[in-house]
Amino acid sequence: MSKDKIFRKKQPIVDFNFKKKTAQVFDDMLNRSVPFYQEIQRMTAEIAADFSVPGTNVYDLGCSTGSTLIALEKVLPPEVSFVGVDYSPDMLEKAREKLAQYKVTRPCEFICRDLDQGISIVNASVVVFTLTLQFVRPLRRRQLIQDIARGLNKGGCLILIEKVLCLDSKLNRLFIDYYYAFKRRQGYNQLEISQKREALENILIPYRPEENRQLLLENGFTECDMFFKWYNFCGMLAIK
């Protein structure tokens, strides 16, 4: 696994992107930047195993390098097909390589698409949405959630993992401080933390958990609850 050193040196800051340079180190970046990332993956697979139905599709929206699909491969019935969606061709190339490396043989389609433009979901029992909705422009999120709900079969689920905000600004600052302390424990220095924060500032727009819950319940889902929370990270399970 290549180590993430993208922001190690002082540099002019441009908006964060998911092109080749990021794809090469993305697995290390996730493991060192997302608290309890491996546990989140395990929980996602555990939930997906309960909701997946043979003969249906399981979608990973913002599939990046395919790590979640590999985790799902271990627990889902062989009659379930995978669909991975990402707007970055470099991420999808890496995902194809990894699924081949892990000898994933079930049907798996990869779609290169910008989720700001919506998505067509077909015969889905599970949709996984890990740290991706936060990159979709807020004005496009309602339509995207409607697209997902429309393509989910009744009784299917959406697993949503996001960075989130607090309603109280003091708590929000406190949780962010705890998060940056976590990143320092993972070996990132202050320059890396500050430069990445600046690169993400204009493109990662988090909501509060209650805003995400309302978005889901008003656009096609009947049940929604939180299954994971760590300061400014949150996992939600919504059922159609």
Total of domains in the chain: 1
Residue 8: inside a domain: no
Structure confidence by residue, pLDDT tens digits, 163-175: 999 999 999 999 9
**CB 131 within 8 Å of CB 103:** no
Q: SS in 3 state form for 104-121?
A: CCCCEEEEECCHHHCCCC
Look up residue 237 and give its amino acid: L
What is the mean pLDDT of the segment spanning 55-68? 98
Q: How many angstroms from the chain centroid is the CA of residue 209?
A: 15
Residue 174: inside a domain: no
What is the mean pLDDT of the segment spanning 53-82? 97
**CB 164 within 8 Å of CB 208:** yes
Residue 60: inside a domain: yes
Cβ atoms within 10 Å, residue 68: 25
Res. 1: pLDDT tops 90 = no
Structure confidence by residue, pLDDT tens digits, 41-52: 999 999 999 999
Range of the domain at 231: 33-165+206-239
Coil, helix or strand at residue 129: strand
User: What are the φ/ψ torsions at residue 142 (nearest 5 degrees)?
Assistant: -60, -45
**Paired strand residues for 59:** 83, 127
- The Cα 133–Cα 235 span in angstroms is 12
Which of 92, 84, 32, 93 lies closest to 61, judged by CA?
Answer: 84
What is the mean pLDDT of the segment spanning 141-157? 98
Residue 131: inside a domain: yes
Q: What is the CATH number of the domain that holds 51?
A: 3.40.50.150
- Whole-angstrom Cα Rg for the chain: 17
pLDDT interval class at 160 (50, 70, 90): very high
Structure confidence by residue, pLDDT tens digits, 93-131: 999 999 999 999 999 999 999 999 999 999 999 999 999
- Looking at residue 127, its pLDDT comes to 98
Alpha helices in the chain (DSSP H): 20-33, 37-51, 67-73, 89-101, 138-151, 169-185, 190-200, 209-217
DSSP for 187-221 reads T--HHHHHHHHHHHTTT---B-HHHHHHHHHTTT-
Percent of the chain with pLDDT over 70: 100
Residue 175: inside a domain: no
Coil, helix or strand at residue 229: strand
- Looking at residue 78, its pLDDT comes to 94
Long-range contacts of 172-176 (CB under 8 A, 24+ apart): 172/232, 175/231, 175/232, 176/232
Residue 146: inside a domain: yes
- The Cα 232–Cα 234 span in angstroms is 7
Residue 158: inside a domain: yes
Res. 56: pLDDT tops 90 = yes
Residue 130: inside a domain: yes
What is the mean pLDDT of the segment spanning 57-86? 97
